[in-house]
């Protein structure tokens, strides 16, 4: 619409005026993702978002995603201003892994190497030895297991169990889960597959095990996007946040994408799997943030310094 186009133009001017760059997650609204690309920013998973922020010269990073992504950007770029369209955009994994309880858990198992998913607070990161994203969890845990280390993993139990099964690592799991991926239903997925026998099934490892077990490809958002581009299949059943369809359609417009069922009898629903916190990022709020400077992320310098260590370990490992 005209209104939307005007809003986008206003945001472009503001980004330019303020020497700011927009970094958007694959799960955000398609308009935000497109705008990030049109303005020289990036659309990415959380690992690539972090890396992009450190490499881009802009003085202000505008992070369209959820709170932990803004915090990670700030931790890695303490001298830069980091803004978010909505500071209330959190994550069920982060929410359900409060630092006091998590620190207790770690204290009770001092002989374990603490590995946490990026979807955690700065405090939880600071208490850990490694931070990983879904794209790099497997090689990091394999590396640690080969050295004979025992692992305390948090907070996503599904991803933890998946990695444990593949590596045979000795792992203690924090009982967290993602509200979006937890909803995918194995029985309904089996029915949908029966209706679309040629479809490849793509699953994010935050999903329950009986859903992961039906996958042709299990991987991070980036890996699932690559699969749509490279596999010969015409049809795909996708078990992750539906925001990802924007990028998949852009790169592979001739493919047919079906959302994996979140409930009910074999129905595919394209907009059922949507993260309520990712959806809080809107063009309107983005414009406001740039105009008022509200939505700035602050992380105390000493906390940032401690949280940076395990994140940097991941970035160095990923090189």
Buried b (16+ CB within 10 A) or exposed e, 145-180: beeebebbbbbbbbbbbbbbeebebebbbbebbbeb
Alpha helices in the chain (DSSP H): 2-17, 30-38, 46-55, 67-76, 92-95, 99-108, 122-126, 137-146, 157-167, 186-195, 209-212, 221-230, 245-251, 283-292, 301-318
Longest dimension (CA), the chain: 60
- In whole angstroms, how close is the CB of 307 to ligand CIZ at the nearest point? 17
Contacts of 302 (CB under 8 A, 6+ apart): none
Cβ atoms within 10 Å of 6's Cβ, excluding its own? 10
Q: Is residue 93 involved in binding ligand SF4 (CB under 6 A)?
A: yes
**Site for ligand CIZ (CB under 6 A): which residue of 28, 221, 268, 281?**
221
Residues 27 and 43: their CA atoms lie apart, in Å, by 9
**Site for ligand SF4 (CB under 6 A): which residue of 91, 131, 163, 171?**
91
| Bridge partner list, 23 | 42, 63
By C-beta, is 8 or 157 nearer to ligand CIZ? Answer: 157
Q: Is residue 120 involved in binding ligand CIZ (CB under 6 A)?
A: no
Cα dist from 280 to 29, 64, 139, 244, whole Å: 9, 9, 33, 16
**CB under 5 to 8 A by kind: which of ligand CIZ, ligand SF4, none does 260 bind?**
none
Q: Is residue 73 involved in binding ligand CIZ (CB under 6 A)?
A: no
- In whole angstroms, how close is the CB of 26 to ligand CIZ at the nearest point? 7
Backbone conformation region of residue 133, classed left if phi is above 0, alpha if psi is from -120 to 50, else beta: beta
**Site for ligand SF4 (CB under 6 A): which residue of 169, 278, 299, 307?**
278
**Site for ligand SF4 (CB under 6 A): which residue of 138, 171, 178, 239?**
178
By C-beta, is 82 or 118 nearer to ligand CIZ? Answer: 118
Q: Is residue 66 involved in binding ligand SF4 (CB under 6 A)?
A: yes
Residues 96 and 246: their CA atoms lie apart, in Å, by 29
**CB under 5 to 8 A by kind: which of ligand CIZ, ligand SF4, none does 179 bind?**
ligand SF4
Handedness of CA 278, 135, 250, 245 (dihedral sign): negative
Spell out, one character per residue from 184 to 213, where the chain touches ligand CIZ: x when CB under 6 A holds, - when not. Answer: ----------------------x-------
By C-beta, is 162 or 277 nearer to ligand SF4? Answer: 277
Closest CA to 261 of 247, 248, 276, 271: 271
- In whole angstroms, how close is the CB of 265 to ligand CIZ at the nearest point? 26
- In whole angstroms, how close is the CB of 34 to ligand CIZ at the nearest point? 18
**Site for ligand SF4 (CB under 6 A): which residue of 180, 200, 248, 258?**
180
Secondary structure letter of residue 147 according to DSSP: T
**How many amino acids of this chain bind ligand CIZ (CB under 6 A)?**
10
Element (H, E) at 93: helix 92-95
Q: Is residue 94 involved in binding ligand CIZ (CB under 6 A)?
A: no
Q: Is residue 262 involved in binding ligand SF4 (CB under 6 A)?
A: no
Q: Is residue 92 involved in binding ligand SF4 (CB under 6 A)?
A: yes
List contacts with ligand SF4 (CB under 6 A).
27, 66, 91-93, 119, 178-180, 206, 241, 275, 277-278
List contacts with ligand CIZ (CB under 6 A).
45-46, 118-119, 133-134, 178, 206, 220-221
């Amino acid at each position: 619409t005209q209104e939307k186009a005007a809003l986008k133009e206003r945001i472009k001017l503001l980004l330019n005026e303020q020497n700011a760059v927009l970094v958007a997650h694959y799960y955000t609204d398609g308009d935000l993702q497109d705008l990030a690309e049109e303005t020289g920013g990036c659309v990415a998973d959380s690992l690539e978002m972090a890396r992009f922020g450190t490499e881009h010269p802009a003085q202000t990073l505008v992070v369209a995603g959820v709170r932990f992504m803004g915090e990670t950007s700030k931790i890695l770029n303490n001298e830069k201003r980091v803004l978010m369209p909505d500071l209330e955009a959190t994550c069920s994994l982060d929410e359900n892994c409060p630092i006091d309880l998590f620190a207790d858990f770690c204290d009770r198992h001092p002989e374990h190497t603490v590995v946490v998913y990026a979807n955690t607070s700065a405090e939880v990161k600071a208490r850990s030895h490694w931070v990983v994203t879904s794209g790099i969890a497997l090689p990091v845990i394999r590396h640690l297991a080969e050295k004979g280390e025992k692992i305390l993993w948090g907070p996503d139990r599904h991803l933890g169990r998946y990695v444990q099964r593949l590596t045979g690592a000795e792992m203690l799991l924090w009982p967290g889960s993602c509200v979006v991926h937890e909803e995918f239903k194995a029985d309904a997925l089996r029915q949908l597959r029966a209706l679309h026998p040629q479809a490849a099934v793509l699953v994010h490892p935050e999903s329950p095990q009986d859903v992961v077990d039906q996958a042709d490809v299990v991987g991070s958002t980036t890996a699932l996007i690559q699969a749509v581009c490279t596999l010969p299949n015409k049809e795909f059943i996708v078990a992750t946040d539906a925001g990802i369809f924007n990028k998949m359609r852009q790169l592979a417009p001739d493919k047919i994408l079906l959302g994996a069922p979140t409930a009910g009898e074999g129905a595919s629903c394209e907009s059922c799997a949507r993260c309520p916190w990712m959806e809080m990022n809107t063009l309107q709020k983005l414009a406001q943030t740039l105009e008022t400077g509200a939505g700035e992320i602050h992380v105390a310098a000493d906390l940032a310094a401690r949280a940076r260590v395990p994140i940097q370990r991941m970035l160095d490992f990923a090189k």
